[in-house]
Structure 1
């Protein structure tokens, strides 16, 4: 595949996004996508209960190390390919256009799933919260549609506006968690402070495989730094720095927050406390250390955290679709750039319509927003992202083995291989525990391979197959354009 950046003869030059995002703005957007407050409030208690108990905080640190190893190869390759951007461009340069198209559709599946999942859960929380405060008793889907409309308005406009909104909301949600950490540190927790969560015996206790699955899935969104390349100021420096800052920042924050929760209740009591009700543990912890203000504050900020999450993923999806349109994988109309906002406004509108349509379908089917939408689609997201990162890791290794563009062994072989091993292990764990992840359990809470598992695994398998068919059709119709697919991305 050639590295020409010129569009094929007779083709319109790909529309390019533009902007002046710095490291802080990009980090805010991708960390907001990871939704740190939601992770601290929901994933941490679950990891403690059904994972490895007291040792769960250490799994956040281990996950961060795995993803940093992956980022070494990713940022190194970004310096050598002409248009590093969305993950499918890396896969395309490493493994060819067909693999790139497969990666593109895996990303669309993953980010669409997480966006729909959070919209449904947010609608449920808003419906319950507003009605409990004496407001209108609207169904969950009505609130979801209102949120989708608000996100669509922000996503349509210049990316700088979204980054400012996300930055403000992220500071609030991170701030309240750090306030809890400080309170635990100053009070000494329940029974003194210690490093027992990082003791090897505690790390491997219980079910560390389930814990690692939850921990590494909590980093979703960090990989989106590369999507904002064309809107970054000095992308050659900004994107690598943003990637490392996002992974390290998320890893340190999650580890510290989870450790503080363990210390807040005591290493000998935290598992029992989390088992009482994992969903409300964060509220009880906030009330214990920050009083009623902390409890009510975290309730409100969980809503804004989810809003930040869906806005971040809306922006990522709009740019993925824009890139795929430039590459000829999606209709050309989706590559349109707004003349004033310099945003992928057509792609943003399509993403808004897609989210609203699926939400309306879920409402018509009378699906439970938590157990029938949020939980299953969250499982799809975790597995699809793990497969996408694994495919990108393989592409990085193949690219450097073939081109010899960089001969640093650590950057091009050792770190990428170690990262790939970690990601493949995570993917294997996600598949092994997939029924549990999507809520396919029996009356005793034991996972079973039921209809939901079969349907969703079938969906994940069908996407690459359909992508292969599309690639074959494009190649047959216009071989020259097919070979230039990745070069025409324009991101």
Structure 2
């Protein structure tokens, strides 16, 4: 129902089905996007796991290489964001370039990938809280209890206004960034046995069976920058804000993570970083800090490590809810999913569905967890960290890599079909280079997935887990083909978002005017 002037947009069961505009500007959007990258979680959780599990010293160099690839990708992606404003972002761009069926396939990959990444964070969230309770109060609390509390808390915040979420995420992000820089500089100024060494930037360090999966870990650290277009409908100036935020996010993540991972090699010594990471896992940063900055700072770091995980959970939850909203609006999910809350303008149904799925998965991992508490080490990380968090994070990252590679191709096709190949030539070249590089990363990640599992290359899970992304793509393509055959008018709407409803409204008004003239 429209209110006020005919140009206003109703956000509750409205004809135009748009998210509420002018909610966030460039600073708030940047903070929301960077919160998804979870700087402290990546530095304290992902980077030590990459060193230890993959056995590769050159992780800082990998961040530089992947940052360069994503910058190439973003030249075309950012230009596309000026032409298409849609909460479906990646899948909407793919639809505009490669057609509705390809867009349908991409939409389900995006929904599965971001959803599974978000759910995975509940594992490390619950484990860290459980560990802190054990360390400070000597009580044994199963990881899944705080994980379920995290599901409830995220559901509450997910139903609130996006500008309130942005402020919450921004405060947490700034604090954890400052804390990370403090211990980074403490590592560099108080180096390990090999002194301040740049060995981790030597290309010769990029060797080992786990290089492909290490690339997947590193990509997971960047995931978040590409989410800026998801909020395009809610920004004050999408023509400029979205592209600016993407490049700022990539630049920040590249420098921040490369510097932080290098600082870790300085603190341990390049020759010892793999061994210490294997021994300490996610506790490495805290052990290194305790020796340098004391118990007080380490305890503070633990607190904001947990709040940083929550910030990432909430940011990904918001993105999943908006993808679900866009798919409901486009007819790829039930139409009820494409509705927004009357009070907050948030995609309430999509938010609720993500919370429900999260609840089911966390309960499933809790039921199958055979772990126990060690009197010295605390809770067993196998189910929450080594399985739920690590498996889900890398499967989700695989999906995002595939989406970005496909989107890079879609950008090229989109501008060529519009006759703008000459004007956009250099962006098309960078998109082509990015597509090739991203597909190489994808192929190597799938090839080396058994290393992540620590399993035999023939182990079933090494194909089952990446197969989740293939299954999502197949489901989406089937939905697209069915719509093309049975509901061509809905198929034509895929990726069009609110624009389709505006065009339909204009067509209905024209038909009514013609009918009125005929009656007269």
TM-score using structure 2 length: 0.85
What residue is the counterpart of 1:330 in the other structure?
333
C-alpha displacement of 1:277: 2.5
The change in CA–CA distance for 1:306 and 1:321 in structure 2 (over 3 A counts) is: same
What residue is the counterpart of 1:222 in the other structure?
225
Q: 1:436 aligns with which of 425, 441, 451?
A: 451
| Distance in 2 between residues matched to 1:484 and 1:272, nearest whole Å | 53
The change in CA–CA distance for 1:210 and 1:61 in structure 2 (over 3 A counts) is: same
CA offsets, 1:146-173, max 9 Å, x none?
Answer: 1111111111010011111111111121
The change in CA–CA distance for 1:142 and 1:204 in structure 2 (over 3 A counts) is: closer
| Distance in 2 between residues matched to 1:136 and 1:202, nearest whole Å | 42
Single out whichever of 402-411 and 339-348 deviates more from structure 2. 402-411
The change in CA–CA distance for 1:135 and 1:276 in structure 2 (over 3 A counts) is: closer
- What is the number of residues matched between the two proteins? 476
| Distance in 1 between residues matched to 2:477 and 2:209, nearest whole Å | 41
C-alpha displacement of 1:490: 5.8
C-alpha displacement of 1:135: 7.2
Q: 1:127 aligns with which of 127, 130, 136?
A: 130
What residue is the counterpart of 1:20 in the other structure?
23
| Distance in 1 between residues matched to 2:366 and 2:137, nearest whole Å | 24
C-alpha displacement of 1:189: 5.8
The change in CA–CA distance for 1:488 and 1:413 in structure 2 (over 3 A counts) is: closer
Residues 75 and 240 in structure 1, CA contact (< 8 A), matched pair in contact too:
yes
| Distance in 2 between residues matched to 1:212 and 1:458, nearest whole Å | 18
TM-score using structure 1 length: 0.90
What residue is the counterpart of 2:463 in the other structure?
454
C-alpha displacement of 1:26: 1.5
What residue is the counterpart of 1:426 in the other structure?
441
Residues 319 and 344 in structure 1, CA contact (< 8 A), matched pair in contact too:
yes
What residue is the counterpart of 2:517 in the other structure?
none
Determine if the alignment matches structure 1 residue 315 to structure 2 residue 318. yes
C-alpha displacement of 1:204: 5.4
| Distance in 2 between residues matched to 1:490 and 1:316, nearest whole Å | 20
Residues 88 and 230 in structure 2, CA contact (< 8 A), matched pair in contact too:
yes
Q: 1:350 aligns with which of 349, 353, 364?
A: 353
CA offsets, 1:405-448, max 9 Å, x none?
Answer: 352455432111111121111101110111223x251xxxxx43
CA offsets, 1:350-407, max 9 Å, x none?
Answer: 2222212222233334473234422322231121111111111111121122222352
Determine if the alignment matches structure 1 residue 478 to structure 2 residue 487. yes
What residue is the counterpart of 2:3 in the other structure?
none
Residues 383 and 427 in structure 1, CA contact (< 8 A), matched pair in contact too:
yes
Q: 2:187 aligns with which of 168, 184, 187?
A: 184
Residues 105 and 477 in structure 2, CA contact (< 8 A), matched pair in contact too:
yes
Residues 17 and 329 in structure 2, CA contact (< 8 A), matched pair in contact too:
yes
Determine if the alignment matches structure 1 residue 70 to structure 2 residue 73. yes
Residues 85 and 228 in structure 1, CA contact (< 8 A), matched pair in contact too:
no
The change in CA–CA distance for 1:102 and 1:140 in structure 2 (over 3 A counts) is: same
The change in CA–CA distance for 1:415 and 1:277 in structure 2 (over 3 A counts) is: same
The change in CA–CA distance for 1:258 and 1:116 in structure 2 (over 3 A counts) is: same
Q: 2:417 aligns with which of 367, 391, 402?
A: 402
What residue is the counterpart of 2:518 in the other structure?
none
The change in CA–CA distance for 1:379 and 1:196 in structure 2 (over 3 A counts) is: closer
Structure 1 portions without partners, runs of 5+:
1-5, 442-446
| Distance in 1 between residues matched to 2:154 and 2:86, nearest whole Å | 28
C-alpha displacement of 1:322: 0.8
C-alpha displacement of 1:34: 1.6
| Distance in 2 between residues matched to 1:200 and 1:487, nearest whole Å | 44
What residue is the counterpart of 1:245 in the other structure?
248
CA offsets, 1:65-96, max 9 Å, x none?
Answer: 00010000101122234658511110000000
Q: 1:384 aligns with which of 396, 399, 402?
A: 399
Residues 63 and 258 in structure 2, CA contact (< 8 A), matched pair in contact too:
yes
Residues 51 and 209 in structure 1, CA contact (< 8 A), matched pair in contact too:
no
| Distance in 1 between residues matched to 2:241 and 2:344, nearest whole Å | 22
Residues 68 and 247 in structure 1, CA contact (< 8 A), matched pair in contact too:
yes
RMSD between aligned residues: 2.5
C-alpha displacement of 1:64: 0.5
Single out whichever of 449-458 and 245-254 deviates more from structure 2. 449-458
C-alpha displacement of 1:210: 4.3
Secondary structure of 1:79's aligned partner: helix
**Which structure is larger by alpha-carbon Rg, 1 or 2?**
2
Single out whichever of 225-234 and 77-86 deviates more from structure 2. 77-86
| Distance in 2 between residues matched to 1:340 and 1:479, nearest whole Å | 34
